[in-house]
Chain A
């Protein structure tokens, strides 16, 4: 069966589903955007505002030193990407599968770092409990 080397440079470099982590930057951008928009809605100056921080989840401090909410999946490793969290979690990694591109080339997907997961539950942020559902893809 055709490997990734058979399908030209466009696809040989495609380890995607290892494109995993990059979503964090997209999410960050959108969060920044919301913050920017929110900045325009200034409260009246007469009101004293308490800054409790954002409601975004904390990353796991010792696993995720760059704050990207991303760490490997595996035995004895923490499944959650969120610190101060309780709830349902699932993780998986090291996928094996195949697919077809728009030129009919068969391309495998999955590497040991191709990991996915979700967290559904309660977490602490902004000095109070929040609830949410998040995925890492």
Chain B
């Protein structure tokens, strides 16, 4: 988990769409993850990702785990470029519109000390 640079995240005023874009993020290419002996290689990633709410509402409320989510199922798309300089490898995805995620959600969450059970 990393902080998002200023301007990297744009959320619409109704909270139903979001675009996250970051350049040259230092990551570790770890192809064998989660194997215990997975070797990690420094890599650089740039990407753009979008979420768009569908009409399907989502409402999770778990008093035991103290979290509540109110939002929507979402479509998500991604375009990215990755470079692994030490092995001379780079990769670029097809345009954003050519990808999709089989699971997506966008909404508002409270948990922990901010959570209070629904009455």
Give chain A's interface residues, CB within 8 Å of chain B: 10-11, 13-27, 57-58, 60, 62, 69-70, 73-76, 78-102, 107, 109-110, 115-116, 118-120, 122, 124, 132-137
Contact = CB atoms under 8 A, between A and B. Distances in A.
Nearest to B26: A26
A18 B33 contact: yes
Contact of B94 (A60, A99, A116, A120): A99
Given A13-B32, A99-B80, 18 more contacts: A18-B31, A19-B31, A22-B27, A25-B40, A75-B103, A79-B105, A85-B112, A87-B109, A89-B69, A90-B106, A91-B105, A92-B49, A97-B99, A98-B93, A98-B94, A118-B20, A135-B4, A137-B25
Q: Does more than half of chain B's interface fall in helix, strand or loop, or is it mixed?
A: strand
Nearest to B90: A102
B65 A107 contact: no
Given A95-B101, A97-B98, A118-B9, A84 B29 contact: no
Contacts of B40: 22, 25
A25 B28 contact: yes
A84 B112 contact: yes
Interface of B: 1-4, 8-9, 11, 15, 18, 20, 22, 25-34, 40, 43, 45, 47, 49, 51, 60, 62, 65, 67, 69, 71, 74, 76, 78, 80, 82, 87-94, 98-114
A22 B29 contact: yes
Contact of A134 (B4, B91, B106): B4
A137 to B, nearest CB: 7
A120 B100 contact: no
A118 to B, nearest CB: 6
A86 B101 CA distance: 25
7 contacts: A23-B26, A76-B60, A82-B1, A86-B108, A90-B106, A95-B99, A135-B9
Contact of B1 (A70, A94, A98, A102): A70
Contacts of B100: 95-97
A17 B111 contact: no
Contacts of B76: 90, 92, 95, 116
Contacts of B103: 73-75, 91-94, 115
Given A74-B103, A86-B110, A90-B51, A135 B60 contact: no
A10 B91 CA distance: 12
